[in-house]
Structure 1
């Protein structure tokens, strides 16, 4: 797809990442998402990767608890560079969509850079000018709703009666963000 192709011809990549802590240098431990046709809004593909941590001793125990990290549950995890190679074709020419997506994008950009990819040139960034933040949409549409106080994914999903089966699972949070996005389009 060329740079001049229409924005609306691209697919959505609903994306969520889980981290070893809330610190900016935290390791990505899980990546999950959905590839969605923008015109039909139908899910075409789901993906989920557990990333092998390089230094789990630096992780925040609370972050590990939230994502249900155990050495056993991460036994089949993969090195981050292998996962990045598989993600590039999914990301290429598409639109990243997520909840508070700036944080996930910044960390993903850092990990790509650390693994030899550079996103500092427009043509090398698969999401150059192509990111949609569902939190921003929710705030714009619901800012005057008195019952919404924190604009968290959980609170917004509760408001729209969207069940989240497993909070702090990258794939499940991507699914919840997708469902929230659909509700906000109708709102």
Structure 2
């Protein structure tokens, strides 16, 4: 029940007495890193909860998070799961080979817990001990998941839009420009 940061190699950057840390370099496996870490370099106990939620959705669907699973919109697995959840079609996420080994209620509950784990804001995500309780106690009431952090994943057959040529206007009478170098 002790979280170990999203990737094995990162565990050494997080001290035992810290609840949150800021890293100088973003490292990890894309698709499993929490949005607060990717965007701001902030690692917390809830970073692993995010990664676990992605893993739960991958296990249920037998699909990788970094693929594209919607023909109309290029969504990764988390985005696709969220879309199906909102449309009331969450069971479509399930790998058909699981059909015989588990009940639809169990699958829906696992998807629900997975979506709670991948919510955009770390504060909205449950703790890992709460996740274990949610998965082992089927009478425990679950809150409604909020929109997860997900990205648009451009598939390999995506075509770049055609860029029209723009005629540049000459703004200098003698073709000389001055550049001022300033730090941010």
Q: Smaller-chain TM-score range? A: under 0.3
The structure with the greater share of residues assigned to strand is: 1
> TM-score scaled to structure 1, two decimals?
0.22
Please identify the structure whose Cα radius of gyration is greater: 2
Higher relative contact order (CA 8 A, sep 6+): 1
